[in-house]
Amino acid sequence: MRDLVTLENLSAQEMVNLLDLAQNMTEILDRPLKKVPTLRGKAVVNLFFEPSTRTRNSFELAGKYLGADVINVQPSGSSVEKGETLWDTALNLSEMAVDGIVVRHQVSGVPQQLAEILDIPIINAGDGSHEHPTQGLLDVLTLRQAKGRVDGLKVAIVGDVLHSRVARSDIWALIALGARVSVAGPPNLLPDTFEDLGVEVTTDLCEALQDADAVQVLRLQKERQSTGEIPSLWEYRLRWGLTKTSLKCAKPDAIVLHPGPQNRGVEIDSDILDSPRAWILQQVKNGVAVRMAVLFRLLGGGQDE
Ligand code: CP
């Protein structure tokens, strides 16, 4: 494993190794002094072509907690504004004795292409609607902490599935680790190829939630939709939003996940977001631990903490 571009090609054992390592990293996060020297002398570039709060900052903190130097590069203020291509930007940055690049881009496939042209580890921080591998890992880590296992659980992934890179990474991780997955959303936001991935696909929200141990609510990605895909936000909430009423279709102890950022009152109601059923802030904390594990594995060269 030189890069982390997708979870599709990771074996269940490789995922479990990363989850175990991330679980160990949570112990560092609970210390009053969090800095360890594991990646001292290493340099990481966060190259983000799309906005981010959780992923960019948690990669930055993960690198810093492990002792690495981390810089953030965004199109605004860089030579991208003068017309420099992504490839030239990445090539130039890689010449600055950089040990790894974390990249987020609106175009699917960009991290894979960078991995093919650069000889340093490339970590996908979300590419178009393709994948968001560290999100998939932090979601299954949160599920494992909440339920003690992943194998045999049922997870419902609901909402704007079509545009969701999170859904794809979650599905690869959950299926590999033995979970059953159902997906639900409006017909025009449900890819018809998803049944081929081994998941149950339905347009009926309650049917997807039936017997679910966890519900992953996806953000309605208004910025990726052409006009007319959703009649109105009010109607979307009525049929697809996770409300106190619709959550009753899941198991009484089902937990609620959301990758963030949330549209409160659209895909999920505030009273659920702010309830003990929501493990969403735990997902955020686990995001730092998972990114520490990934940086350690790819830049530290070790198999164990
Ligand atoms: N979950 C996630 O990718 O959030 P950000 O867009 O804030 O990084």
CATH code of 147's domain: 3.40.50.1370
Same domain, 138 and 272: yes
**pLDDT of 303 strictly over 50:** no
- Ligand 1 closest atom vs CA 260: 1
Whether 260 lines ligand 1, by a CB cut-off of 6 Å, is yes
What pLDDT is stored for residue 231 in this prediction? 78
Same domain, 88 and 138: no
275 located within any domain? yes
Please report which confidence band the pLDDT of residue 226 belongs to, taking 50, 70 and 90 as the band edges.
low
76 located within any domain? yes
Condensed to tens digits (0 to 9), the pLDDT of residues 111-120 reads 999 999 999 9
Same domain, 155 and 79: no
**Mean pLDDT, residues 2-16:** 97
- Domain total of the chain: 2
**pLDDT of 182 strictly over 60:** yes
Same domain, 261 and 295: no
Separation of 166 CA from ligand 1 center, angstroms?
Answer: 10
Same domain, 104 and 162: no
Out of 42, 105, 130, 132, the active site residue is 132
Same domain, 105 and 212: no
Whether 34 lines ligand 1, by a CB cut-off of 6 Å, is no
Whether 152 lines ligand 1, by a CB cut-off of 6 Å, is no
Give the 3-state secondary structure of the chain. CCCECCCCCCCHHHHHHHHHHHHHHHHHHCCCCCCCCCCCCCEEEEEECCCCCHHHHHHHHHHHHCCCEEEEECCCCCHHHHCCCHHHHHHHHHCCCCCEEEEEECCCCHHHHHHHHCCCCEEEEEECCCECHHHHHHHHHHHHHHHCCCCCCEEEEECCCCCCHHHHHHHHHHHHCCCEEEEECCHHHCCCCHHHHCCEEECCHHHHHCCCCEEEECCCCHHHCCCCCCCCHHHHHHHHCECHHHHCCCCCCCEEECCCCCCECCCECHHHHCCCCECHHHHHHHHHHHHHHHHHHHHHCCCCC
Please report which confidence band the pLDDT of residue 301 belongs to, taking 50, 70 and 90 as the band edges.
low
Condensed to tens digits (0 to 9), the pLDDT of residues 199-214 reads 999 999 999 999 999 9
82 catalytic residue (yes or no): yes
273 located within any domain? yes
Same domain, 111 and 240: no
What pLDDT is stored for residue 125 in this prediction? 98
Whole-model pTM over 0.85: yes
Out of 55, 134, 142, 202, the active site residue is 55
- Ligand 1 closest atom vs CA 259: 1
Range(s) of the domain holding residue 268: 133-280
Out of 104, 163, 180, 297, the active site residue is 104
What pLDDT is stored for residue 169 in this prediction? 98
What pLDDT is stored for residue 21 in this prediction? 98
Same domain, 127 and 140: no
**Mean pLDDT, residues 146-169:** 97
Condensed to tens digits (0 to 9), the pLDDT of residues 54-93 reads 999 999 999 999 999 999 999 888 898 899 999 999 999 9
